[in-house]
Structures are given as C-alpha cells and as structure tokens.
Amino acid sequence: MAEATPLKIGLIGLGKIAVDQHIPSIKGNPALELVAGCSPHARPEGVKAYPTFEAMIEAHPEIEAIAICTPPQIRHKIAAQVIATGRHVFLEKPPAATLGEAEAIRDLATSKGLTVLASWHSRFAPAVEATREWIAARKLKSVHIVWKENVRQWHPGQKWIFEAGGMGVFDPGINSLSILTRILPQKVIVKAADLHIPVNCQAPIQAELTMTDETGLDIRADYDFLQTGIQTWSIFIESEAGEKLTLSMGGTELEVDDKVLIKEKEAEYSGLYAHFERLIRAGKSDADFAPLRIVADAMLVGHHIDAPEYIE
C-alpha cells in the first residue's frame, strides 16, 4: 500500500519553543512536512518565514494544519482565524488565556469537522504513564508538587509572561498540573492558593496551592519562578502503605523507594506531533482543559500577596 503523503504543517509564532522543539520535531517526522511559518519579527534559520498568517497562507495554500506557538493572550483570536480557513489546529500550552476561550476554540473546530489538539507536552514525558499505572494499583496518602525554576534563565525577554493572561509561574507550573491530571484517577479540586505577585506585574512569580479530590487526598503544589541553583520539576507521591514515588526532571525520571526505575531523555514533542498526526488521520480531537481549570480556580480563590518588583 502507498504511504500517505506527509501532512503539511505551518507554524504561527517563531519564538523559543518553535525553534527549540516544533521545527526539529516536525522535520524529524517523515509523516510531516514543515511548509512555512509566520511571526512579526523572528526569522529562524531553516524555515520559510512570513510576517503574517495571511501572507503565509496566500503563499502556501497547501498547508493543512497549523501549530500556534504564540503567547497565550492572542491564541484565541489566531485560532479562530486558522479554523475559519479550514485548517486543523495544534495549540501550544496553555490552550488559551481563559477557559472560555479554550472552549470556544474547541467548539469552533468541532463545528467545522477540524482536529484540535490542546497540547500538554509534559504528558509525553517517559515516566508519566508508569506513574499513572503505579497509582492505579494503590491508595494514596499525599501528592506534593515542587516546581521551581529561574525565570531569568528559561524565559529571557518574555515580557508577556508577567502581563495579564501570561500566567506567570503557572506558565511552567501548568506542566506539572498536566501530569497531575493525567496520573490521578479523580478530578482535582483547588481549595486554597497563595499568589505572590510582584508589585509591577499582573501574574504570580510564586504560588502555593492546596488541593484535594473526591477521596480527600492531600495534594499540594509549590511553584517558584525565582529559583537559582538547582532547578526542580518534581512530584512526590506517598501511598497509604508508606511507599514513596518520586517523578522528577519534569517526568523523565522515576524513583520508587529510592530505586531508580526510569531515567530517560525526553522526546515529548516528537510524541506530541505523532499524536497530532494520528488525530487528524482519524478525524478526532484531544482538547482536555483540566490543567487550565486548576490554574483558573487558583486565580479565583487565591490570596494575592504583594511581592518585590520584578526586574529582568
């Protein structure tokens, strides 16, 4: 049987994540073809780049699917424009700035028979599914997320992150919530949050969340965007029987009772793109907004605490 022709992809937003992950992942997948990209200013090597979506589509009407890699605040407007032209859509995380916007994008794509992928790259980390299986066989006592990174190191020049809708420390923190909502069998409920917001910013730079589920599980999360030295992207889980599981390095390493079970290099975006391609070929969508709902709920119940001015 003849191989299917590669799916023709366009990118919107050619910043850090497009260059670090999307471009190499598309180029590394023979079932996909990177046709072009657009961004107001960025012109990365190896991509035919246009200043606007309209210019890209006019030059390349053959594009079948678009990955939107812009900051979240403008994602809804852009996604609506992409869907109106009949292209499938891959949304970088978070899928939009609000739940309402995310749902509107999903509904619009569905009404046009197009695929939408609300991508959560951390769910494709190598130790996440094994953690899910470990949890499924046990009764848990507690879950503690510790997600601490240096914003100056990982997000240089990204002013949008501390503007309204940029989510601040939840921009990386939502990755931990995408893992949490994948590995736990029950829905997560936010009970309380402390949100530390620099006096010159609109979004938190540190946050502590108290959560639970229908079984009363003790779930906590500590987020810090000012972490220097060792960076931590870990989830510590204890079972009622006293067993201890640690999922660390963003989901690439798994330890149970101090024994290393998985330690692998991440290949999250190649997994994500394979998933996107399969969804399109099957005429399906994957639009789970549970991680975004937790952030939204934390913002609803959160105590706002003034933090010192943030200067990059």
Active-site positions? 93
Question: Which residue of the chain is nearest ligand NAP when measured via CB?
Answer: 15
How many whole angstroms separate alpha carbon 228 and alpha carbon 216? Answer: 34
How many whole angstroms separate alpha carbon 68 and alpha carbon 74? Answer: 10
Contacts of 257 (CB under 8 A, 6+ apart): 243, 244
Is 169:207 a contact under the CB 8 Å cutoff? yes
Asked if 48 is part of the footprint of ligand NAP (rule: CB under 6 A), the reply reads no
Query: Segment 167-196, which members bind ligand NAP (CB under 6 A)?
Result: 171
Q: How far is CA 18 from CA 10, 21, 55, 267, 294, in A?
A: 11, 6, 19, 15, 26
Of 36-44, 143-151, 217-225, 278-286, the window that binds ligand NAP (rule: CB under 6 A) is 36-44
How many whole angstroms separate alpha carbon 128 and alpha carbon 262? Answer: 10
Contacts of 129 (CB under 8 A, 6+ apart): none
Instruction: Quote the tokens at residue 280.
Output: 């399109």
Please report how close the Cβ of residue 121 comes to ligand NAP at its closest, in angstroms: 6
Asked if 122 is part of the footprint of ligand NAP (rule: CB under 6 A), the reply reads no
Q: Which of 1, 5, 40, 259 binds ligand NAP (CB under 6 A)?
A: 40
Asked if 16 is part of the footprint of ligand NAP (rule: CB under 6 A), the reply reads yes
Query: Segment 65-104, which members bind ligand NAP (CB under 6 A)?
Result: 69-72, 74, 92-93
Would you say the C-alpha torsion 189, 285, 94, 24 has a positive or negative sign?
positive
Please report how close the Cβ of residue 213 comes to ligand NAP at its closest, in angstroms: 26
Please report how close the Cβ of residue 283 comes to ligand NAP at its closest, in angstroms: 26
Would you say the C-alpha torsion 157, 267, 38, 176 has a positive or negative sign?
negative
Of 33-41, 137-145, 177-185, 201-209, the window that binds ligand NAP (rule: CB under 6 A) is 33-41
Helix (H, G, I), strand (E, B) or coil at 97: coil
Please report how close the Cβ of residue 260 comes to ligand NAP at its closest, in angstroms: 26
Nearer to ligand NAP, 25 or 131 (CB): 25
Is 268:125 a contact under the CB 8 Å cutoff? yes
Nearer to ligand NAP, 121 or 182 (CB): 121
Please report how close the Cβ of residue 81 comes to ligand NAP at its closest, in angstroms: 10
Asked if 204 is part of the footprint of ligand NAP (rule: CB under 6 A), the reply reads no
Helix (H, G, I), strand (E, B) or coil at 3: coil
Report the phi/psi class of residue 258: left, alpha or beta, with left for phi > 0 and alpha for psi in -120 to 50.
left
Chain residues that interact with ligand NAP, rule: CB under 6 A? 12-18, 38-42, 69-72, 74, 92-93, 121, 158, 171
